[in-house]
Amino acid sequence: MDWHIIFYKDKTGNEPVKNFILKQTDGAQAEIIHVFDLLYRFEFSLGLPYVENIEGKVWALRIKHSSDYYRIFYFAASGKKFILLHAIKKKTDRLLKRDLEIAKERMDTYKDYL
């Protein structure tokens, strides 16, 4: 059975990562989808420059398009699922603590629904 890439959905049905992606340019969307394909094909063997561990079970897809840098936070869930939690367009060299907190909160919420 292959791994699946799943968008986190909140209790109102909102999919924040999908909404974020749809607001980006066509070129950025294409690059994001390319990195999703790499994650799907290579799973846990995919490493830098595309994937990095942020903290504990929270990982980030690292995406570069033109001069823009994106991060999509995710975790691996049972049932061979990568759950996409939070997405940002980086504006500084460092990740903001609040972005990690959002990802962790969504991960905990997702686990509560299992």
Nearby residues of 89 by Cβ (< 8 Å), 6 or more positions away: 24, 68, 69, 70
Predicted TM-score of the model (pTM): 0.91
Domain boundaries along the sequence of the chain: 4-113
Residue bearing the bigger pLDDT, 102 or 113: 102
Residue-wise pLDDT for 41-93, tens only, equals 887 788 889 999 999 999 999 999 999 999 999 999 988 999 999 999 987 77
In this predicted structure, what is the pLDDT of residue 37? 92
Q: What are the C-alpha distances in Å from 15 to residues 11, 78, 79, 83?
A: 10, 20, 20, 11
CATH class of domain segment(s) 4-113: alpha beta
DSSP state of 48: T
Mean pLDDT for 16-32 is: 97
Indicate the pLDDT class of residue 2, thresholds 50, 70 and 90.
confident
